[in-house]
Structure formats: C-alpha cells, structure tokens
Chain A
Amino acid sequence: MTSLRSITLATLTKDIRLEWRSRDAINAMLFFSLLVVVIFSFSFDPTAQESREIAGGLIWVAFLFAAVVALNQTWARELRNHVLDAYRVSPAPPNALFLAKVFGNFILVSILEAVMAPLFVVFYNLRSLGPAWQLALVAILGTWALVVNGTFFAAISLRTRSREMMLPLLLFPISIPAVQSMVEATRIILSGDGSPRFWIVLLLTYDVVFTTACLGLFETILQAE
C-alpha cells in the first residue's frame, strides 16, 4: 500500500513538475476552450433568455473537448525513451501509474474549469438560481468521470495508429451518460427548477463503476502484448 502511494505521488509530482516547466498542455487547453466559448457565443445568442437553459451543455461540451487535448498527451511523454516499457518491467504496481496520471489530468482539467467558468458566467450573464455549492459537486464528479475514462482510453489508443484521433472516438460513446448527467444537473441548478439529486447520484455511480473497471483492467492494458 505504501509503495502504491509513494509511487503514485512520485509519478504525480514528476508530471506536475514537467507540466509546470513547459506549461504546454495547460496553455493549449485554456486557449482551446476560450476559442470554444467565443465560437459558441456566436453560434448561440448568449443574451437570450434561453441561454440559461443551454449554458450547462455549452460549458461541459467545451470542457470535454478541452480535456481531450490534455488526455491525448498523457502518455506521449512516457513513450519517449521507452519509459513505459521500463515501467512495465519494474515491480511498481501498474495502478500507481494509472492513478498518478488520473490525478494529474484531474488537476489540469480542474484548473481549466476554475479559469473558464468565470468567463462563461461573464459571457452568458449566468446567475445560479439553485444552490451554487452543488455546482462544485457536479464539477468534481463530472471532471473525475471524464478524466478517469479518458486516461484509460488514452492508454488504449496509444497502441493504435493515429492515436490522437482515436481517443475521442473511444471516449465519447462511453461518456454519453456522464455528459448527460453533468449537463442536466448543471441546467437544473442554474435554472433552479427541481432537484439535481438523481443526476448527481447517477454521476457518482458512473464514477464508482468506471473507476473500479479502470483499476481492475489497467494492468491488462499496460501488459498487453
């Protein structure tokens, strides 16, 4: 257990340090989602009364697309100099590597959300009519849902041709219930009609089910020969 924790922490700090020094992924993500926000504002009139109804969808679609940018380069770093092969032959638990990557991506996407959410509020004149703290809960659960499966599928698409293209093709169909839950919960909280409880519970179920599945099957993916 200690080795799992220490290896997870070591890999995570290494990744964060590398990202901090280069800031490649975070800059690309921020700019990308800024572009998405602006393009959405031209496509859907943000001043309209209905904007509150569709804002939840716009926010999460923007984050989903931006997250793919980060997820795609998760494992690319480990391919150089055959780090992944070295990891494979080392006695370190595979799940430590996986968890470190998930936490790393989670931090990245959370930063992105923290920066972009105010922009959405400004551009779409949003004001939450429901309890706003629930939005934080939805954001945490939703981000985890995207990131845990995204990291896993990035590891799968690593083994294919044109891997950058492959990730969204694998991730999006599986993410449909998660995205729907996030969008619906956000819409309900923003418009203040009804309780988002069902969607939050569904999102939590999604997180639990797929985190378990990822942890159970990651070793198979890493060792696949």
Chain B
Amino acid sequence: MKKLFPILAALTALLLAYAFYQAMWVAPTERTMGDVQRIFYYHVPSAWTAFCLFFTNLIASIIYLIRKNPKADALAVASAEVGVVFCTIVLVTGPIWARPVWGIWWTWDVRLTTTLVLWLIYVSYLVLRRFSDSAQTPVLAAVLAIFGALDVPLVYFSIWFFRTQHPQPVMGNGGSLDPRMLHVLLINWLAFSCFGAIVCWWRYALEREMREVEELEALESLHGVSR
C-alpha cells in the first residue's frame, strides 16, 4: 500500500492540474456572471467531497461503536479533519462568489445554513477529540457523530420551512448548464474526490502510525519500570 501512495498522489496532482487548466482556460466564460463564475468548479466539488467525508465519518463511527475496531476510529478522525477543511473551502468560496453575483456575502438559504451547521457540528467534534485525551475519546466522539447526523435533517427542514416563508435569492444554475461547463465540472469533481480521498488516506495512515508509536512508547516505559 505504501508503495502505491506516491503513484496515486502524483496522478491526483496531475489530475488537479489538468482540472485547473480546464476550469481557468477551457471552460467558457459565463455570460452574466463573468469570470467569477469559475469559482463554481471549486465550490461544488469541494462541497461534494466534504459531504462524502462526513458520511464516511458517520459510517466509521457506527462501525467503531459496534466493533470497537481502532482502524474505524482512525478513519473517523481522518475523515472528520479533512472534511472540515473541505467544508471550510466551501464556506469561503461561497461568499466570494455571492458578493458580486447576489450583491450580498451571505444569505440564510437552506444549503448555506445546513452547510454552516454541519461545519459547526464537525468543529465541535474535533474540539471534543482535542479536549479529551483519555481512552474513552473514540466512543464519545462516535456518539457525537451520530447525534450530528440526526441533527442535519432537522436543520434542513427548519431552514427549508423558514425560507419558504421568507423568499431569498435563489441559487444559480436552474438545470441549464452548458455542456462544456458540465464537462469541466465533472473533471474537477473527479479531481477533488481523488484529492479528498488521498489526503484522507494520508491522514489515516499518519493516525495509525502515531497510535502505534504511542503504544510502543507505553510498552517501553512499562518494561523500563519492570527492569
């Protein structure tokens, strides 16, 4: 597996470079929005990657609670951390695009608000992991992940209803995306998915090694005492 990693990383880097070229030069300029629309090719794939990673975190957390498998917990840490990074990218690129297009930085729209709440939940998840260094941390964190997953549909419904009462600026692209734009979007989609997966894998391997080192150190100090 370790030998495979540099190859996959190089391929992902190439794919990302190609996707960047496509997004910046090949994709046609949007008629009304202009060049700022190109942020779309980063915003949407990042959102997709973040949601996939959060979903991975949920599955890993459930598996951990059932099997108590430390690998599942390492995967949960890795996916939550990388997911928060991608979610942050979504929340930063969104307003940059919204300001010139909508004329406002932020609106309490369903998707925006749900993403923000999801980000908040996962930041609190990471804070919990940070503040609890005992052996119970994985269980507590896994439980919190399940609570967060239960919360998201409720947030979505509450904002959805709120918004139907208070009309807000609608999201762009009403299904009529230029095929060339769609092509570029799909390439970026693939590139970002690979990027997210590889960073998550990297972080996972690091987490496993860190734990191994900790275990060895604990064992060594134990031997030192017995001697």
Smallest distance from the beta carbon of A70 to chain B beta carbons, Å?
20
- Asked if B154 and A205 make an inter-chain contact with CB atoms under 8 angstroms apart, the answer reads yes
B173 partner residues in chain A, CB cutoff 8 A: none
| Interchain CA distance A198-B65 in the complex, whole Å | 34
- Segment touching B, from A23-31, A32-40, A47-55, A217-225: A217-225
B37 partner residues in chain A, CB cutoff 8 A: none
Main secondary structure of the interface of B (DSSP, over half): helix
A198 partner residues in chain B, CB cutoff 8 A: 161
- What 3 A-B pairs have minimum CB-CB distances, sorted nearest first? A160-B132, A224-B136, A177-B154
A209 partner residues in chain B, CB cutoff 8 A: 150, 154
Given contacts A170-B127, A172-B124, A199-B158, 7 further A-B contacts (CB under 8 A): A159-B136, A159-B137, A172-B120, A174-B151, A199-B161, A202-B161, A206-B154
| Interchain CA distance A225-B140 in the complex, whole Å | 10
Q: Name the residue on B nearest A188 (C-beta).
A: B165
Q: Name the residue on B nearest A163 (C-beta).
A: B131
| Interchain CA distance A221-B147 in the complex, whole Å | 13
Q: Name the residue on A nearest B161 (C-beta).
A: A198
A21 on the B face (CB < 8 A): no
A128 on the B face (CB < 8 A): no
- Asked if A166 and B128 make an inter-chain contact with CB atoms under 8 angstroms apart, the answer reads yes
Q: Name the residue on A nearest B131 (C-beta).
A: A160
**Contacts A166-B128, A213-B147 given; does A180 touch B158 at CB 8 Å:** yes
The number of inter-chain residue pairs (CB within 8 angstroms) is: 86
Interface footprint category on B: 20 to 34
B17 on the A face (CB < 8 A): no
| Interchain CA distance A180-B143 in the complex, whole Å | 23
Q: Name the residue on B nearest A161 (C-beta).
A: B131
- Asked if B162 and A180 make an inter-chain contact with CB atoms under 8 angstroms apart, the answer reads yes
- Asked if B148 and A225 make an inter-chain contact with CB atoms under 8 angstroms apart, the answer reads no
| Interchain CA distance A173-B161 in the complex, whole Å | 19
A177 partner residues in chain B, CB cutoff 8 A: 151, 154-155, 157-158
| 8 Å CB interface, B155-170 against A | 155, 157-159, 161-162
A113 partner residues in chain B, CB cutoff 8 A: none
- Asked if A174 and B131 make an inter-chain contact with CB atoms under 8 angstroms apart, the answer reads no
Q: Which positions in B face A, CB cutoff 8 Å?
A: 65, 117, 120-121, 123-124, 127-128, 131-137, 139-140, 143-144, 146-148, 150-151, 154-155, 157-159, 161-162
Smallest distance from the beta carbon of B113 to chain A beta carbons, Å?
9
B150 partner residues in chain A, CB cutoff 8 A: 209-210, 213
B162 partner residues in chain A, CB cutoff 8 A: 180, 184
| Interchain CA distance A53-B140 in the complex, whole Å | 39
A172 partner residues in chain B, CB cutoff 8 A: 120, 124
- Asked if B124 and A176 make an inter-chain contact with CB atoms under 8 angstroms apart, the answer reads no
A90 on the B face (CB < 8 A): no
- Asked if A224 and B147 make an inter-chain contact with CB atoms under 8 angstroms apart, the answer reads no
| Interchain CA distance A199-B158 in the complex, whole Å | 8
Between A and B, 13 residue pairs with Cβ closer than 8 Å are A159-B137, A160-B128, A170-B124, A170-B128, A172-B124, A174-B124, A174-B151, A176-B155, A198-B161, A199-B161, A209-B150, A213-B147, A217-B146
Q: Name the residue on A nearest B155 (C-beta).
A: A177
| Interchain CA distance A159-B144 in the complex, whole Å | 13
Pick the residue among B128, B131, B146, B157 that contacts A213 (CB under 8 A). B146
Q: Name the residue on B nearest A223 (C-beta).
A: B139
Pick the residue among B117, B123, B134, B151 that contacts A159 (CB under 8 A). B134
| Interchain CA distance A159-B136 in the complex, whole Å | 8
B155 partner residues in chain A, CB cutoff 8 A: 176-177
A169 on the B face (CB < 8 A): yes
